[in-house]
Amino acid sequence: MDNHAKNKSIVARFLSELSQAEPGEISAILGQFCHQDVVWEVFHPFNTIHGIEAADSKFWNPLKTAFPDYEQRLNIIIGGEYEGRNWVSTLGHVTGSFFSSWLNIPPTYGITFLRFGLNAMVRDGKLAKVYILIDIVDVMRQAGLYPFRQMPGSPEQWPAPPAGTGVRDDSYDGEQGAQSLRTVLEMQQGLLAMDLTDLKHADYSPLWHSNKNWYGPAGIGSTRGKRGFREYHGRLFLQAFPDRAGVARDHNGPQDAPGHYIRIGDGKFAVTSGWPSIYATHLGDGWLGLAPSGRKVEMRVADWYRVSDDNKLIENWVAMDILHILWQVGLDVLKDMQYFADRTKRRWPD
């Protein structure tokens, strides 16, 4: 089996075993699949976590306690090399019964979907650094405590790719993946250079399929086609952050430098992600219904793409650390959640 395919199988098995574990078994699974000095970068409020024990107590155990029967559903799993390091990227959902309070969000006792992305650097068959990208705001929405104005786009759960195009943890197609990644990077460079003088008629990229689906995080929602993207996300985002710029990364520097830490393609899929990958100033209104704060922010973003048979970008799943952006402009949504949690105590029906 190809080395990247082996790494994909390792990550898929790691996530599967975690989903089946009891809370007391998590540390042993982490020890089996991860280096002792593994570093975790997790969307706010978890942020940087060092080592196995801390990851167990701060992230995995609370997650398993809140969703004791959760399943890990993988819709995409791709592998590849970037900057001399081997990576595996997955996207899907953690799906289970929300049975105990998590991050001050009160339980619903019903099925809940947590959008869950993971980018793992694999060294010598074990995970050395792991980025976890989760949509906490969407869990708030499902619990009836959505904290913003109505989403411009659709709040519905992200669909999986079409049958036969998504999950493959036993193979690796680097040749087609390289072409998919080239298409993505060409498109991204074009967006950064786009003329912003007429946001109402922005045409974005000729590399977009006419029916491209853009799946955004809770707060923004999902859109279809260029017009849908422009009206429900693009114009509002650029209006709020007119000076947004991609982070210039020294690719010969340390692996935790800003900018894209992962750029890989595998078959018709590609992923790019940075920690952060964008710097901007919150200068305009409209985004999430917020008044401009004037504060500078950094944005942690991950994009998974699917390329059509005619080499157009036809699907784009986007994870954005919304809570981290809001924390930087002075809004602690999770702290506010405690107030609502206290007022909406739920219990399992008799």
User: Is the domain of 192 the same as that of 135?
Assistant: no
User: Is the domain of 16 the same as that of 128?
Assistant: yes
User: Is the domain of 189 the same as that of 55?
Assistant: no
> Looking at the domain assignment, is residue 346 inside a domain?
no
Helices (DSSP H) in 88-240: which residue ranges? 136-142, 174-192, 225-229, 235-240
User: Is the domain of 287 the same as that of 203?
Assistant: yes
Of the three residues 86, 120, 142, the one that is the final residue of a domain is 142
User: Is the domain of 105 the same as that of 15?
Assistant: yes
User: Is the domain of 178 the same as that of 129?
Assistant: no
Which residues of the chain fall below pLDDT 70? Answer: 1, 192-203, 248-257, 341-350
User: Is the domain of 138 the same as that of 224?
Assistant: no
Q: What is the DSSP string of 62-102?
A: HHHHHSTT-EEEEEEEEEEEETTEEEEEEEEEEEEE--S-B
> Looking at the domain assignment, is residue 344 inside a domain?
no
> Looking at the domain assignment, is residue 22 inside a domain?
yes
Of the three residues 127, 142, 157, the one that is the final residue of a domain is 142
Q: Are 136 and 143 in contact (CB under 8 A)?
A: no
User: Is the domain of 134 the same as that of 185?
Assistant: no
Closest listed residue to residue 217, CA positions, set 60, 323, 118, 312: 323
User: Is the domain of 218 the same as that of 323?
Assistant: yes
User: Is the domain of 199 the same as that of 326?
Assistant: yes
> Looking at the domain assignment, is residue 304 inside a domain?
yes
Q: How many domains does the chain have?
A: 2
273 lies in which domain range? Answer: 174-338
Q: Say what the pLDDT of residue 205 is.
A: 81
The model's pTM: 0.93
182 conformational bin, left if phi > 0, alpha if psi -120 to 50, beta if neither: alpha
Q: Are 91 and 73 in contact (CB under 8 A)?
A: no
**Rounded Cα distance, 273 and 261, in Å:** 6
As a 3-state breakdown, the chain gives helix, strand, coil percent values, each rounded to 5, of 30, 35, 35
User: Is the domain of 114 the same as that of 215?
Assistant: no
**Rounded Cα distance, 345 and 36, in Å:** 39
> Looking at the domain assignment, is residue 193 inside a domain?
yes
Q: Say what the pLDDT of residue 164 is.
A: 85
The secondary element (H helix, E strand) that includes residue 230 is none
Q: Are 284 and 292 in contact (CB under 8 A)?
A: yes
User: Is the domain of 179 the same as that of 136?
Assistant: no
CATH of the domain at 78: 3.10.450.50
The secondary element (H helix, E strand) that includes residue 26 is helix 26-33
